[in-house]
Amino acid sequence: MRRVAVTELRRADDTPLSRAFPALNEEQLFFCYLAGVPMLGVFAQWLAWRLRLPSILLLLLFGILLGQLFTNPDELLARLVDDPGSESIGPKVLFPLVSLSVAVILFEGGLSLRLSELRAAGRGVLRLVTFGALASWLLTTLFAVFFLDGLDLRLAFLLGAVLVVTGPTVVAPLLRHIRPIRRVASIVKWEGIVIDPIGAVLAVLVVEEIITHGDEFSLLGMLTLFLKTALMGGTIGFVVANLLVQLVKRFWLPDYLHGVAFLAASLGSFAFSNLLLEESGLVTVTVLGILLANQKSIPIHHVIQFKEHLGVFLISCLFIVLGSRLDPRVFLELGWGGVGFLAALILVVRPLAVFLSTIGSGLEFREKLFFSWLAPRGIVAAAVMSVFALKIASMAHGEFGDHAVPGMAELAEQSRQLVPATFLVIVGTVAVYGLTAGPLAKWLKLSDTDPQGVLLVGAAAWVRQFGLVLQEEGVQVMLIDTNYANVAAAKMSGMRAECISVLSEHVREEIDLSGIGKLLAMTPNNEVNAMAVSEFSHIFGRVNAYQLPLWDAAAGRRTSVGEHLQGRLLFHESLHYDELDDRLANGWQLKKTRLSDEFTLDEFFQRYGESATILFTIDSTQRLAIATVAVPLAPQAGQTIIALVEGEGSATRKPGKEN
C-alpha cells in the first residue's frame, strides 16, 4: 500500500480560512502565513508560561492547527511558483532555511556549554554520547525492522541514526520548565547539544554507504568518513572562533556589530563546512559555540543574550512551521506498528541505553532513572530525515549516475515511511516527556519547578536576621558577601553562605543555585545592587530580581543608578540600607505572624501601629511573596506575614497566632 508523504496535504484553497477569505491571492495568503507563524509561536510560549506547561507541546499543537485550519507552506510555495502539483518545491525551499535555523540554535546551545560543568558531569556525558548513542542506534534499528511493516534494514539503520538525536530545540524548553539540579541539568544540556551533530553524521554515513555500496556496509568506510567529518567541523570551528576573538580583542569590530557578526560567522561557517563535507556544519557550529563560551580573552555575555533571544524565536517559528506541514492522517498509515515502535523507544530503547552506558559512571540511580525518561526528539530529527528521505526517493530516478543500488525502487517506496515515523516519534516523545518528566524530576527530588529560595547579596548583621527569619519559615536561603567575617557569622547561624563577589563568574558556574528562585540585592552600594540585578535577571527573570531602594533617590536624575538599571525596589521607598540598619540596631524587630479569621490584618496594625511595614508573606503552599515599592502586599487569612515593627513595648499585645 502506498504511504502518504508528509507534504501531501490538502490545497490551500480547500481550508476553512481560505474559503472564508476567497479574495486573498497566493501572495497575500503567504504573507499572512509568514506573519502568523511568529505571532502564534510567541503566543504559544506565553500561554505555556502562564499555564506552567512545556512550551513545545503548545508549539506543536498550534502548528498542526495552523496547517489544518489555514494551509501548509509546501502548498503555498508550490502555488507561488505556479506549480500546484509539485511536492518538492516546499522542502527544497524550507529545509535550507530550517538547516540554517538549526545551526543558529546549535551555536547558541554551544555558547551555553561550560567546560567547568564537565568536572561533575563529564563522565556521564561522555558515556551517553558514545556508548549510549551506539546502543540507542542499534536498538532503534532493531525495533524499526520489527514494527514498521518489514522496513529494509538499510532504512532502519538510517532511521535509528536520525532518532539518536534529541537537541536543544526540545531539551532547552524542557529544562526551563523542569529546572533540575545543576549536575542533572548539565548532563542533559551537554548530551542534547553534542548528540545532534553525532546523529546527523551517523545518518550521512548510512546514506553514503547506501549510495556507494548498496546493501553491503563498509565499517571501515563509515569510520573514516566519521573521523573526516569530526576533523573538518572541529578545524573550521577552531579557526572561526579564533578569528572572531581577534576581531573583538583588537577592536576591529564595533560593539554594535558583535551580535550580528557572530551570527553571520556561525551561518557562514556552517554553510562552508557543509559544502566541503555534508552535515559537518553541525559539528562546526557546536565547536564554535563551545570554544567562544570557554575562552577568557573577550567578554561575550551580550552576544549570548542576543543569541538566547534569537534561539527562542527560532524554536517557536520552527515548531510552528514543521507542525503546520504535518497532517495527522499520516500516522494512521503507520498503524499499530507505529504505536509499538514509539512505545519501544520510550519504554525499552532509552532506559536500556542509559543504564547500560552509565555503568560505573558514578551517577545515582535516581539520576539514571530521570535520564531514562528524557529523550524528546525535535527539529534536527525532522529536518535531517526529511532531507534524506527525499534524497533516497530521488535515487530511484537515476540522479546518482552510475551508482547501481540493489532494490532501489523498493527502497525508495519504503522510504515513504521514514518521515511519518520520525514525526510520530517527535510528537509522541514531546507529549510523553513534556507532560511527565517534570513531575518525575520533582518526585525524584531532582528539581524544583517553582523555586522559592532567595539569594541574599550581602551578609551584614541585619541582612542575616532577614535570612534567619525566612529560613525558619522553610524558605531556602543563601548569602553572598565579600566580607569574610559576615560570611563566617552567617555560617555559624546555620545558613548557607559564600565569601565571593556576586559579580564573579564562579557564582554562575560553580555554585549550585537549585531551589533558589529570587535575588535580593541588599548591600550598602547602590551600584553593586544594580549590577547584581542585571547579572541575575536572565537566570531568575526580572520579576524575581530585587534590590534595596537607593539612599540617594531624592537626587532625582542625578541619582547614582539610572532607573533603567534598577531592579524591583524592595519594601518601601524609605527603607534603604542605612534606614534598615539603624532601625534593627535600635530596637525594631522582624515579627512573624499568622493571620486568621480571628486575628486579621487590621488587628495586626492595631497591635503594632501604622509604622509596621509588611515585608514578606508566605502562604500555606510555602510560596513567598515580597513587598515592593510599586506593589505593596495585601495579606490574607491563612498567610504568615513577616513585618518590621517597633520594639515589644510599642503596642498592647492581643491574642493571636504569632512566633
Give the confidence band of 651 by pLDDT, cuts at 50, 70, 90.
very low
Asked if the structure places residue 582 within a domain, the reply is: no
In this prediction, residues 545-572 reach a mean pLDDT of: 74
Q: What is the CATH number of the domain that holds 516?
A: 3.40.50.720
Asked if the structure places residue 74 within a domain, the reply is: yes
Asked if the structure places residue 1 within a domain, the reply is: no
State the DSSP code for 658. Answer: B
Asked if the structure places residue 457 within a domain, the reply is: yes
Asked if the structure places residue 317 within a domain, the reply is: yes
403 vs 518, more confident: 518
Model confidence pLDDT, tens digit, residues 49-101: 888 777 777 888 888 888 888 777 777 777 666 655 555 566 677 778 888 88
- Compute the distance between CA of residue 315 and CA of residue 42 in angstroms, rounded to an integer: 10
- C-alpha closest to that of 370 among 354, 359, 356: 354
Give the confidence band of 509 by pLDDT, cuts at 50, 70, 90.
low
603 shares a domain with 461: no
Cα–Cα distances (Å) from 176 to 53, 97, 118, 196, 544, in that order, read: 10, 26, 20, 19, 15
352 shares a domain with 472: no
Residue at a domain's end among 560, 595, 623: 560
415 shares a domain with 330: yes
Give the other-Cβ count within 10 Å of 299's Cβ.
10
Q: Looking only at Cα atoms, what is the longest distance across the chain?
A: 99
Please report the pLDDT score of residue 262 as a whole number: 93
Please report the pLDDT score of residue 659 as a whole number: 43
R_g (Cα) of the chain, nearest Å: 29
- Contacts of residue 535, defined as CB under 8 A and 6 or more positions apart, other chains included, come to 502, 503, 508
Please report the pLDDT score of residue 344 as a whole number: 94
Q: In total, how many domains does the chain have?
A: 3
State the DSSP code for 651. Answer: S
Residue 480, strand partner residues: 457, 498
State the DSSP code for 5. Answer: P
Q: Does pLDDT of 17 surpass 70?
A: no
Percent of the chain that is helix, strand, coil (3-state, to 5) = 65, 10, 30
460 shares a domain with 598: no
Residue 647, strand partner residues: none
Residue at a domain's end among 408, 443, 478: 443
Q: Do strands 589-594 and 640-645 pair parallel, antiparallel, or not at all (unpaired)?
A: antiparallel
- Compute the distance between CA of residue 354 and CA of residue 445 in angstroms, rounded to an integer: 19
Q: Does pLDDT of 19 surpass 60?
A: no
293 shares a domain with 355: yes
454 shares a domain with 310: no
Please report the pLDDT score of residue 122 as a whole number: 74
Asked if the structure places residue 575 within a domain, the reply is: no
Model confidence pLDDT, tens digit, residues 362-381: 888 999 999 999 888 877 78
Q: Domain containing 510: what range? A: 450-560
238 shares a domain with 149: yes
Q: What is the CATH number of the domain that holds 129?
A: 1.20.1530.20
251 vs 91, more confident: 251
Cα–Cα distances (Å) from 550 to 458, 530, 546, 556, 649, in that order, read: 15, 10, 12, 11, 31
499 vs 564, more confident: 499
Model confidence pLDDT, tens digit, residues 331-356: 777 788 889 999 999 999 999 999 99
**What's the mean per-residue pLDDT of the chain?**
80
- Compute the distance between CA of residue 289 and CA of residue 301 in angstroms, rounded to an integer: 13
Model confidence pLDDT, tens digit, residues 192-233: 888 888 887 888 778 776 666 555 556 666 677 778 888 988
Give the other-Cβ count within 10 Å of 25's Cβ.
11
Give the other-Cβ count within 10 Å of 474's Cβ.
11
In this prediction, residues 531-549 reach a mean pLDDT of: 84
232 shares a domain with 140: yes
Please report the pLDDT score of residue 558 as a whole number: 60
Please report the pLDDT score of residue 15 as a whole number: 55
Model confidence pLDDT, tens digit, residues 429-488: 888 888 888 888 889 888 776 788 889 988 888 889 899 999 888 888 999 888 889 889
Q: Does pLDDT of 404 surpass 50?
A: no
Please report the pLDDT score of residue 510 as a whole number: 67
Max avg pLDDT among 50-64, 391-405, 407-421: 50-64
Q: Does pLDDT of 252 surpass 70?
A: yes
Q: Does pLDDT of 650 surpass 60?
A: no
Residue at a domain's end among 443, 461, 483: 443
Asked if the structure places residue 578 within a domain, the reply is: no
Q: Find the range with the poorest average confidence among 103-107, 207-211, 212-216, 511-515.
A: 212-216
Please report the pLDDT score of residue 235 as a whole number: 92
Q: Does pLDDT of 631 surpass 90?
A: no
Model confidence pLDDT, tens digit, residues 268-318: 999 999 888 877 888 899 899 989 988 888 888 888 878 778 888 888 888
Are the C-beta atoms of 354 and 136 separated by less than 8 Å? no
Task: State what percent of residues in the chain have pLDDT above 90.
Answer: 13
227 shares a domain with 262: yes
Asked if the structure places residue 543 within a domain, the reply is: yes
State the DSSP code for 180. Answer: B
Are the C-beta atoms of 149 and 1 separated by less than 8 Å? no
Alpha helices in 325-414 (DSSP H): 329-344, 350-357, 365-371, 379-395, 408-414
Q: Does pLDDT of 260 surpass 80?
A: yes
Model confidence pLDDT, tens digit, residues 569-609: 888 888 888 888 888 888 888 888 888 888 888 888 888 88
Please report the pLDDT score of residue 380 as a whole number: 77
Q: Which cell numbers in the block locate residue 619?
A: 502562604
Please report the pLDDT score of residue 10 as a whole number: 45
In this prediction, residues 153-160 reach a mean pLDDT of: 86
Give the confidence band of 123 by pLDDT, cuts at 50, 70, 90.
confident
591 shares a domain with 550: no
Task: State what percent of residues in the chain have pLDDT above 70.
Answer: 83
328 shares a domain with 258: yes
Please report the pLDDT score of residue 88 as a whole number: 59
What is the sign, positive or negative, of the torsion defined by CA atoms of 442, 446, 449, 450? Answer: positive
Give the confidence band of 138 by pLDDT, cuts at 50, 70, 90.
very high
458 shares a domain with 530: yes
Please report the pLDDT score of residue 608 as a whole number: 84
